[in-house]
Structure 1
Amino acid sequence: MRLLVVLTCVLTGCLAEKPHPCSSPPLLSGALTMSTQNEKLWAYATYLYDALGQRTRLSEMGTYENKTFTFDILLLFKEGTMYEINEHDRTCKKRPLKADFQPLEVPKNASLLAQVVLGSSSGPGQGLLVNSWMGDLPNNAGKFVTTVTEFGCIPVSTVYHTDQFGWAVISFFNNIIGISDPSLLSPPDFCPSAEMEVDIEEPANFLSLFNN
């Protein structure tokens, strides 16, 4: 009987453990949407994320100030280089990238807002347990709220504020751990010969990648 009581206490303690900040898997692929409060920008993109090599690729389409756009970019943070790729025309623009790599993670100084179930907790498979966190953007640029799954730390959504767009919402979906074709995180064979366009300003933040 005493053993049963101890076991019950241990299990209860495990289930009631407070969530902790976490890092997403180092290799991820999937899709995302972005929209802004002022309704100037809406975008859909597929993404490849490699935290080990500090590489990201975004293939996107959307509207900015009622004008449609498509964009395919490869960000190589260790090399400090961004490639704008046009597979159809087999052309490539090479630009400097001085921004720091931002991993998909909940920073250690973030504060837990809530743990909730997306969907329903009425039956198995009807809901998803997630944690929402709040923190400060780098360089005192504002606040953010990010939501990740309790198990796996898979990104679900991020909300943050910018002076240019107001509140912006990024929603992640169809996430897969791993990258099926790692070659997509290397410049295509027609890119290495591209000359660096040093007179073009590099993107200042993630949002600016969607309105070049």
Structure 2
Amino acid sequence: MRLLAVLTCFLAGCLAEKPHPCSSPSLLSGALTVSTQNEKLWVYGQYLYDALEQRTRLTELGTYENKTLTYDVLLLYREAAMYEINMHDRTCKKRPLTTEFQPMEVPKDASLLGQAVLGTSSEPAGGLLVNTWTGDLPNAGGKFMATVTEFGCIPVSTAYHTGQYGWVLTSLFNNIIGITDPSKLNPPDFCPDAEAPTEGEPANFLSLFLNRA
């Protein structure tokens, strides 16, 4: 009986502990949407994320200013290279990549806005406990807001403000810890001979979508 009381107190203390900034798993895959406040951009895509080797791949389908766009891009940050891939035509363009790798994490200096349940807490397994954080954008002006799960630090959504497009919202879902096909984070066999021009590198995450317009 005494052991049960101790365990109960321990669990209550853990549940009452204040959330702390965290890092997402090093290997993630899933789906995402990106939209802008001015309604010019809407994108649905798949993503692969490898923080260990600093690699990301995005495949997109969406609209920008009422024009349909499709895009498949592989970002190799350690090689400072970006590959624009067309699997259908088996063509590839290699461009320089000057942006730094940004891990999926809540920075240590972020401030907790609050904790909430997505869904319902009225029945078991009916909801998801999440934490929402805010802070300053790294190496840029303005603020960001990010929501991650309390357990596992799985990203749910991020939002930040730009002068040209207003708020930019990214929502992530169907997240899986791990990558089922790591070969997709390597350039296809028709890419190695692609030339690397000196211009045209993406300036930031949003430009990966807007440059396709």
Q: CA deviation at 1:2?
A: 6.4
Runs of 4+ in 1 over 4 A off after TM superposition: 1-7
CA deviations over 1:93-136 (Å, ceiling 9, x no partner): 00000100000000000001111000100001110000000010
Task: Name stretches of at least 5 consecutive residues in structure 1 with no aligned partner.
Answer: none
User: What is the correspondence of 1:63-78 to structure 2 with a 5 Å cutoff?
Assistant: 63-78=63-78
Amino acid at match of 2:189: D
Q: Name 1:26's counterpart in structure 2.
A: 26
Q: Name 2:210's counterpart in structure 1.
A: 211
Identical pairs, percent:
75
Q: CA deviation at 1:140?
A: 3.8
Q: Name 2:103's counterpart in structure 1.
A: 103
CA deviations over 1:148-173 (Å, ceiling 9, x no partner): 00111000000111122110110000
Q: CA deviation at 1:199?
A: 2.7
User: What is the correspondence of 1:127-146 to structure 2 with a 5 Å cutoff?
Assistant: 127-146=127-146
Q: Residues of 1 paired with 2:42 and 2:28: CA distance?
A: 23
Between 177-186 and 10-19, the greater mean CA deviation after superposition: 10-19
CA contact (8 A) 1:28 1:179 kept: yes
Q: Name 1:159's counterpart in structure 2.
A: 159
Task: Name stretches of at least 5 consecutive residues in structure 2 with no aligned partner.
Answer: none
Q: Name 1:121's counterpart in structure 2.
A: 121
Root-mean-square deviation over aligned CA pairs: 1.3
Aligned pairs, how many?
211
Amino acid at match of 2:193: S
CA contact (8 A) 1:31 1:175 kept: yes
Between 69-78 and 132-141, the greater mean CA deviation after superposition: 132-141
Amino acid at match of 2:23: S
CA deviations over 1:28-72 (Å, ceiling 9, x no partner): 000000110011110011000000000000000111111111000
Compute the TM-score of the two structures, normalised by the length of structure 2. 0.95
Secondary structure of the equivalent of 1:138? Answer: coil
CA contact (8 A) 1:54 1:76 kept: yes
Amino acid at match of 1:206: F
